């Protein structure tokens, strides 16, 4: 199933605007609000619509089309790709909401409108999948899309802040065997940027919570958080490590264990770092979508325990 990582980065970078700007809805600023809302509407329409057109022309048109059909990919990639769907919906919802708040929209309306935007966009992608012969409509994808949006919306409506941050990190992975290196390049590309966007063996997703929320008497700084993460390794196919090489030979690598990995690590909530500089606030807001490199404890589905002095 295609995972739209290009859109993730495009959306996060595109909307690098002064989120921290407050806005009062009195009559003096109503004209400014209307102009800002037109700007935000244009950005959303242009960003969503334009990226869908580009996505269809550069990706889907290269594959055979079919009638609308379903595809059960709930077991694919040990669900790492599904968590990626949730991360995208959560973080695009955050940014879209801040844009609408910047435009002068009332908080609750901005949360609903912006918060559902990520899931709505990915629903459009799911429709493209549903008409591609190689893939199909995935109810599991849809469930994770709406989980990400719900995680953002629920916190924002209850607390008017994100006490649980949804983050992403990436580490480099190198295959020792030539046959695995060739397979990795076939699936995930060759450059580190391609691997970051596509390689499920190198991605970790985190839920990060400030330690002060876990311990009310804590004297630790408000920006210090504790994160729990999930990733995987040994993935050389969506459902199993089995493929056909360029010479037509069937490769079966059941000896490679498809391994789930769980992490505990300290983290930084960049939005809790106090500054009056709007550029810094915007930068910190962007950075908070990504886990800060730090020591980590890992345990996996093999029962193995490992301590990383610095984990990305």
* Residue 259 reports pLDDT greater than 90: yes
Contact indicator for 95, 65 with CB cutoff of 8 Å: no
Bridge partners (DSSP) of residue 205 are 168, 230
User: What b-and-e string marks burial along 199-231, b requiring 16 or more CB atoms within 10 Å of the CB?
Assistant: bbbbbbbbbbbbbbeeeeeeeeeebebbbebbb
Looking at mean pLDDT, say which of 30-39, 80-89, 99-108, 176-185 comes out highest.
80-89
Q: Are residues 30 and 71 in the same domain?
A: yes
How many angstroms separate the CA atoms of 243 and 119, rounded?
32
**126 or 191, greater pLDDT:** 126
Residue 35: pLDDT band with limits 50, 70, 90: confident
3-class DSSP assignment, residue 206 = strand
Residue 6 domain boundaries: 1-162
Cα gap 82→86, rounded to integer Å: 7
* Average pLDDT of the segment spanning 96-109: 92
Q: How far is CA 308 from CA 104, 294, 298, 299, in A?
A: 45, 8, 8, 11
Where a domain ends, among 162, 187, 218? 162
Query: 3-state DSSP call for residue 70?
Result: strand
Q: Are residues 242 and 99 in the same domain?
A: no
Do 51 and 98 reside in the same domain of the chain?
yes
For residues 143 and 191, state if they share a domain: no
Judged against a pLDDT cut of 70, whether residue 13 lies above it is answered with no
In this prediction, residue 191 carries a pLDDT of: 85
252 & 275 share domain: yes
> Tens of pLDDT along 47-90?
778 878 887 776 788 789 999 999 999 999 999 999 999 999 99
Q: Let me know whether 228 and 127 are in one domain.
A: no
* pLDDT tens column, 207-218: 999 999 888 777
Q: Is 147 found in the same domain as 21?
A: yes
* Structure tokens belonging to residue 230: 């999930």
In sequence order, what are the beta bridge partners of 252? 242
Same domain for 78 and 167, yes or no, is no
Shared domain check, 198 and 284? yes
Considering the domain architecture, whether residues 116 and 175 belong to the same structural domain is answered as no
Q: What is the mean pLDDT of residues 139-151?
A: 97
Residue 184 to residue 174: CA distance in whole angstroms: 9
If you ran DSSP here, which 8-state letter would residue 209 be given? Answer: E
- pLDDT exceeds cutoff 70 at 196: yes
End residue of a domain, out of 134, 162, 190: 162
Number of domains in the chain: 2
213, 224: one domain = yes
Domain boundary, last residue among 162, 190, 206: 162
Say yes or no: 13 and 157 in one domain. yes
């Amino acid at each position: 199933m295609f995972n739209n990582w290009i859109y993730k980065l495009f959306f996060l970078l595109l909307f690098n605007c002064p989120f921290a700007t407050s806005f009062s809805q009195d009559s003096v600023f109503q004209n400014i609000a209307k102009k800002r809302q037109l700007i935000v509407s244009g950005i959303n329409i242009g960003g969503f619509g334009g990226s869908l057109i580009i996505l269809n022309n550069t990706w889907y048109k290269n594959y055979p089309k079919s009638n609308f059909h379903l595809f059960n990919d709930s077991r694919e990639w040990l669900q790492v790709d599904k968590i990626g769907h949730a991360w995208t919906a959560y973080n695009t919802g955050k940014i879209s909401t801040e844009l609408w708040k910047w435009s002068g929209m009332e908080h609750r309306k901005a949360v609903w409108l912006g918060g559902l935007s990520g899931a709505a966009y990915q629903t459009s992608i799911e429709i493209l999948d549903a008409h591609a012969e190689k893939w199909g409509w995935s109810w599991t994808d849809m469930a994770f899309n709406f989980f990400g949006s719900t995680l953002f919306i629920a916190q924002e409506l209850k607390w008017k802040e994100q006490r649980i941050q949804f983050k992403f990190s990436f580490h480099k992975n190198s295959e020792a065997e030539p046959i695995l290196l060739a397979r990795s390049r076939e699936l995930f590309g060759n450059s580190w940027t391609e691997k970051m966007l596509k390689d499920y063996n190198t991605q970790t997703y985190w839920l990060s919570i400030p330690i002060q929320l876990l311990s009310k008497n804590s004297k630790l700084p408000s920006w210090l958080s504790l994160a729990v993460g999930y990733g995987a390794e040994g993935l050389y196919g969506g459902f199993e490590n089995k493929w056909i090489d360029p010479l037509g030979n069937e490769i079966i690598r059941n000896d490679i264990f498809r391994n789930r990995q769980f992490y505990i690590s300290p983290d930084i909530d960049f939005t809790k770092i106090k500054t009056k500089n709007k550029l810094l606030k915007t930068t910190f807001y962007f950075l908070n979508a990504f886990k800060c490199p730090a020591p980590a404890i890992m345990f996996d589905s093999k029962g193995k325990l490992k301590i990383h002095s610095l984990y990305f």
